[in-house]
Amino acid sequence: MSDPQQPTTLDDLLKTLEKSGNLRSLARECGFTPGDLKKQLKLWRRELQQETGDAVASSTRAAGKRKAPKDEIPTLTPAKSLKKSPLPEGGDQVLEVWTDGASRGNPGPASIGVVFGQRGGEILCGHGETIGKATNNVAEYQAVLRALQFARDWKVKHVVLHMDSELVARQITGQYRVKSQDLMPFYRQIISLMRSMTKVDIRHVRREKNKVADHLANLALDGKI
Decide yes or no: CATH 3.30.420.10 for domain 79-221: yes
Determine the Cα angle at 102 with ends 101 and 107, to 5°: 115
pLDDT of 124: 96
pTM of the model: 0.69
Task: Give residue-wise pLDDT tens across range 86-122.
Answer: 999 988 999 999 999 999 999 999 999 999 999 989 9
Between 136-153 and 184-195, two packed helices, what is the crossing angle to 10 degrees? 20
The backbone region for 31, taken as left when phi is positive above 0, alpha when psi lies in -120 to 50, beta otherwise, is: left
pLDDT of 22: 72
Q: Are 118 and 92 in contact, with CB atoms under 8 Å apart?
A: yes
199 by DSSP, 3-state: which? strand
Q: Which residues of the chain have pLDDT under 70?
A: 1-21, 23, 27, 29-31, 45, 47-72
- What is the C-alpha R_g of the chain? 20
Domain ranges of the chain: 10-62, 79-221
